A and B are shown apart, each in its own frame.
Chain A
Amino acid sequence: MTTTNSSPTAPKPSDDDPLAKPLAPAHTGSALTFRLGLAAAIFMGAMLVFGLVISGPEINQRDSARLLYIHLPSVAATYLGFLVTLVGSVIYLRTKSLFWDMLAGASAEIGVVFCAGLLFSGAVWGKPTWGVYWQWDPRLTSTAVMFVMYLGYLALRRMDLPPDVRSRRAAILGIASFANVIVVHYSVQWWRGLHQGRTLGVDTQIDGLMLFSLFLGLVAFVLTFAWLLVHRFRVAWLSHQVEELGLARALAERRAETDPTGRGRTP
């Protein structure tokens, strides 16, 4: 989508001003986000229908197994979010490109949102299945640590530091924090705990409809992640532009104060 005034919310340029540029729509949407959002909504709707209506209850877990259709996709979206943060951080350290720094930050924030969802859905699944909402099991504990580490990453990005220092420190933390994502993923293999092993693999034994519902959930959540990432990145970019414009305006005002004639100092 081009930045024309196709949106009903966009202010129209003045007709009598030949130099007036077409104004951009006042939102972060585009053709890309429209397609991503539409696809995510379709898959999310299909997941709800298949997961809550068409597929049957599991023989042992009964209907609580339906929580897995949002729990596992939340795990996938969380991993994806933190993986993009890792990639963005590595490329930022090599190139110092603001694009990759902002992408890493945007992705981490969305990853944290999905991580909160996976912790909550896991807890409400654990109560009927294990009898407790929470257990200091290796998988659960390492996931909670991962959540807190990325909250720390987001806090670091909001610290009052010179932008390049803040971005460099955030990139280092974004790379270091990913080590815990690996620990989370392999925790069920490395340590014995209450949490079950891998749900999906080459030897997966799961009913066809349940597997299909899970597949729909995975696609829906990954598409939602991508849709959110584009919007969140654009918000970060716009925020940066607003900061720069504010700084430029403040500098201009300061110059005007020191030199009211506007001609500058002459030797």
Chain B
Amino acid sequence: MYWEYVIVGYVVVLGGLGLYSAAILRQGRNLSRRVPPEKRRFLD
């Protein structure tokens, strides 16, 4: 009972987290290529 609410809740919350994570990882990849190794402090 009420499974439709459960499914919508889980899909939106976990899906939103997944999309945000993907955006951050993608942004990191794009920026990483533009920064030389000597400027990459805090990245290891």
Contacts and interface: CB of A to CB of B under 8 A. Distances in A.
A57 B5 CA distance: 14
27 contacts: A21-B38, A22-B37, A24-B35, A24-B37, A24-B40, A27-B25, A27-B32, A29-B25, A29-B28, A52-B10, A63-B1, A64-B1, A70-B10, A71-B9, A99-B42, A117-B16, A121-B12, A121-B13, A228-B24, A234-B43, A235-B28, A237-B43, A238-B28, A238-B31, A241-B31, A242-B34, A245-B35
A67 interface: yes
B7 to A, nearest CB: 9
Secondary structure class of chain B's binding surface, majority of residues = helix
A1 B44 CA distance: 5
B44 A74 contact: no
Greatest chain B CB density within 10 A among A21, A24, A74, A116 is at A24
Interface residues of A, number: 51
Interface string B1-35: 11101101110111011001100110111011111
Contacts of A2: 44
A237 B6 contact: no
A62 B28 contact: no
A239 B13 contact: no
A126 B39 CA distance: 49
Contact of B42 (A29, A124, A233): A233
Contact of A245 (B2, B27, B32, B39): B39
Given A67-B6, A120-B12, A231-B28, A30 B35 contact: no
A125 interface: yes
Contacts of A9: 29
